[in-house]
Amino acid sequence: MLINILLLILSIGIYAKFGISNLIYILFSTITTYIAAMVIERKKINKGNALYNVNNVNEGNKNNETIEVEAKNNQNKKHRKWILILTIAINACILIAIKILIFGQAKYNLLSTTNIIAPLGISYYTLQVISYIVDVYKGKIEAEKNFFKYLLYVMYFPYLFIGPITRYEDMKKELFKKKSIKLENIYNGAIRILWGLTKKFVIAGRVGILINTIATDTSNYKGSYALLAMLLYSVQLYADFSGGIDIVIGGSKMLGINLKENFDSPYLSQSIKEFWRRWHIALSSWLKDYIYIPLGGNRCSKIRNKINVIITFVISGFWHGINYLLWGLMHGLLVVYGKILKTKWKPLNILITFLLVSVLWSFFIWPDTITSLQMIQSIFTNFNYVEMFTNFQNLGLNLENIIVLITSVLALIIFDIKKDKIINKIKNYKLEGKIAVIGTLALIVLVFGIYGIGFNVSEFIYSKF
């Protein structure tokens, strides 16, 4: 209880620190969905009466009162539906409007006098509140009566910047269970946080230097450089995003709160379809449950199913921003028609999937769709790999740093391949072994991390979505 009060105060404080307007937005979403869920729940209580009266009807006792209740229930059903639609629409519209305004400002200099900044975590908490209201409507969960409990679910600060997107059903069990501080959780949480920091600062930070050099000078760096940037961005985004999630999961673990995994070695996927089961799992599963299935999922014709998949991915692209619509569409098409690329050789499938994912990340590297397409095109028209290899050391990293980068990426690959084995081994370590792991990771981050003056350590790539 005390931990939760502290967590709530801390969360509100952090939101407020980033600007009071953040608080207004998130409180609006929280209050509207809280009230809507309560109303939906109350209207649902009459459903019980309806059942009772329906039974009476069946028994042939249909009277005026029953007809009235029936009519009332039909009306309630309609009301519930409208409340749901209205609540979703209001919250989704805010998110959509912000995405459009941000795009408009960047592309057409709209509202040039005002700097439009998305409220902190809006992409994440909007999906959370929508999932909550839908789940209450469907009767999957009961509406939370305690406003502050619901507020903590929405505002829980560890997932403030980059998610993961959680469901109330899961978080209720974790947040409001009886928690006690256990040493075991502290060690394991600390290891997870430090592993995340290693990925973020040692790998993503270093790769970021190379990508910045290449991406900011499209006239000189194209062809093989563009491909290099795409491959490196795959590494950077994964290390940065999954590193951030490791920090969130590790921090929560220390508090005794278990969050679901958001990544499952995604670059070992053998198809784009599999990739989306292993990458940003929380978003994929949200899109599946709240977009794909309501659209009809796979319980429809094959063509309709394919359209449903593509629509879902386009929405996923939109969630990232208007610039990413094409990216979403391409992923949708690759999920639907990806089978034709599959071979019998597993490593080749992994390689093809990695290359496809990397090339499509180009929409995230360059500031607009046209430049991204030009960069993809340049791979085929102006490859010039000899120059890229000879010039590699002038891209911002010296030999020592390149060695650190290669070593740490290899460590990440080995970890992803042998993840379960390594985690189990560390879990079984005695106290001194765990302290040694913590100490080693801490020293690696401290010495080889890219941080300090000129680097914003709290900035994660996925926090901008």
Partner 1 sequence: MKYIKPIVVIIIFILIFIFLNKLLSPKYMTDLVEGNMTYEYYKEDKKHEVIFIGDCEVYANFSPMVLYEEEGITSYVRGNSQQLIWQSYYILKETLKYETPKVVVFNVNSMRYSEPVSEAYNRLAIDKMKWSKEKIGIIKASMTEEEDFLSYVIPLLRYHSRFDKLTSEDFEYLFKTKNSMYNGFLINKNVKPVESLPTKRRLSTYQFKGNCYEYLDKITALCRENNIKLVLIKAPSVYPYWYDEYEKQIQEYAANNNLDYYNFKEKVEEIGIDYSTDTYDGGLHLNLNGATKLSKYFSKILKEKYELIDYRNDERISNIYEEKLKQYIEEIN
Of 109, 115, 178, 432, the residue at the interface with partner 1 (CB under 8 A) is: 432
Q: Show Cβ contacts of residue 437 under 8 Å, excluding neighbours closer than 6 positions.
A: 191, 426, 429
Q: CB under 8 A: which stretch of 285-293, 317-325, 330-338, 450-458 binds partner 1? A: 450-458
Give the nearer residue to partner 1 in terms of CB position, either 176 or 451. 451
Which ranges constitute the DSSP H helices of 178-297? 183-197, 205-215, 224-254, 272-278, 281-287
HEC assignment per residue over 387-422: HHHHCHHHCCCCHHHHHHHHHHHHHHHHHHHCHHHH
Q: CB under 8 A: which stretch of 248-256, 359-367, 369-377, 452-460 binds partner 1? A: 452-460
| Calpha distance 129→147 (Å, rounded) | 13
In three-state secondary structure terms, 152 is helix
Contact 208, 236 (CB under 8 A): yes
Q: CB under 8 A: which stretch of 159-167, 210-218, 261-269, 424-432 binds partner 1? A: 424-432
Give the nearer residue to partner 1 in terms of CB position, either 420 or 432. 432
| Torsion angle (degrees, nearest 10) of CA 107, 109, 110, 112 | 150
- Interacting residues with partner 1 between 279 and 308 (CB under 8 A): none
Of 64, 180, 219, 398, the residue at the interface with partner 1 (CB under 8 A) is: 398
Q: Does 67 bind partner 1 (CB under 8 A)?
A: no
Give the nearer residue to partner 1 in terms of CB position, either 9 or 436. 436
Q: What angle do CA 62, 64, 65 make, to 5 degrees?
A: 90
Of 42, 406, 446, 459, the residue at the interface with partner 1 (CB under 8 A) is: 446
Give the nearer residue to partner 1 in terms of CB position, either 124 or 448. 448
Of 448, 460, 462, 465, the residue at the interface with partner 1 (CB under 8 A) is: 448
Nearest approach in angstroms of CB 186 to partner 1 is 13
| Calpha distance 44→61 (Å, rounded) | 24
| Calpha distance 447→65 (Å, rounded) | 77
Q: Does 117 bind partner 1 (CB under 8 A)?
A: no
| Calpha distance 145→344 (Å, rounded) | 54
Q: Does 183 bind partner 1 (CB under 8 A)?
A: no
Q: Does 112 bind partner 1 (CB under 8 A)?
A: no
HEC assignment per residue over 315-371: HHHHHHCHHHHHHHHHHHHHHHHHHHHCCCCHHHHHHHHHHHHHHHCHHHHCCCHHH
Q: Does 153 bind partner 1 (CB under 8 A)?
A: no
Q: CB under 8 A: which stretch of 80-88, 223-231, 349-357, 394-402 binds partner 1? A: 394-402
Pick from 189, 154, 26: which is nearest to 98 by CA?
Answer: 26
Of 207, 310, 360, 450, the residue at the interface with partner 1 (CB under 8 A) is: 450
Q: Does 56 bind partner 1 (CB under 8 A)?
A: no
Nearest approach in angstroms of CB 193 to partner 1 is 17
Of 213, 218, 391, 401, the residue at the interface with partner 1 (CB under 8 A) is: 401
Of 400, 420, 424, 458, the residue at the interface with partner 1 (CB under 8 A) is: 400
| Calpha distance 329→37 (Å, rounded) | 33
Residues that bind partner 1 (CB under 8 A): 398, 400-401, 430-432, 435-436, 439, 442-443, 446-454
